[in-house]
Amino acid sequence: MRLFLLGFLTLTLGLAQEPGKPAEKPKESTKPLEDFGVLIKPEIEKKLVLNAEQREKVSRLSDEFREKSIELRDKITSEVEKIRAAAKAAEKENDRATRRKLAAQVKKKLDGERDLKAEYLPRLRAVFTDEQKQLYDKLLREQNRPPVEKKPVKPPVPAPG
């Protein structure tokens, strides 16, 4: 979903096009947006070797997450369209400050997907055993995707002295 939203942001804020020049079509991605609405990838779920009860719980969470992701995407899309219209007006007036402010608003909207995933991750992890949690974290690290879960920040250790 993040890829979809970032692509949408790029298209939305691509306001530097010369007037009268036809818009270039963005290049099609060769990889589909397979992560959209996916709480846990099937290959990771398989490696965790979940029992029947765990699979049922993960399936329910995944379905709920997918539905909320679709709702969020639809909401974000309509809100970003409104921001895009305002950005076009700001472009005509050459108002860079307003365009920056609108870009920040779009970024904030796009962070909603990450927040949604962070909301569901503790619920997903609660289904796993301790060993499965460790394996899950390891598999995410191997994909260069650390867990989304927000961890408390440790205060700095005072210097001896």
Distance CA 49, CA 92 (A): 57
Higher-confidence residue: 110 or 37? Answer: 37
CB 45 within 8 A of CB 58: yes
Residue with tokens 């055993």: 129
| CA 84 from centre of chain | 20
Number of domains in the chain: 1
Residues 6+ apart with CB under 8 A from 154: none
Q: Residue 49: inside a domain, yes or no?
A: yes
Residue 17 lies in a domain: no
Cα–Cα distance for residue pair 41/65, rounded to 1 Å: 13
- Residue 20 located in a structural domain: no
The mean-pLDDT minimum among 14-28, 63-77, 114-128 falls in 14-28
Domain, as residue range, for 71: 2-7+37-135
Q: Write the CB contacts of 128 (distance below 8 Å, at least 6 apart in sequence).
A: 48, 50, 54, 136
Helices 2-12 and 52-92, axial angle in degrees (round to 10): 10
The yes-or-no verdict on residue 35 having pLDDT over 90 is no
Any domain includes 114: yes
How many Cβ atoms sit within 10 Å of the Cβ of residue 58?
19
Q: Dihedral of the CA atoms 151, 155, 157, 161 (nearest 10)?
A: 180
Instruction: Return d(Cα 136, Cα 46) in angstroms, integer.
Output: 11
The average pLDDT across 52-69 equals 95
Number of helices and strands (H, E) in the chain?
Answer: 5, 0
In a domain? residue 64: yes
Answer yes or no: is 159 within a domain: no
pLDDT band at 32; cut points 50, 70, 90: very low
Report the predicted TM-score, pTM, of the whole model to 2 decimal places: 0.60
Asked if the structure places residue 150 within a domain, the reply is no
Within a domain: residue 30?
no
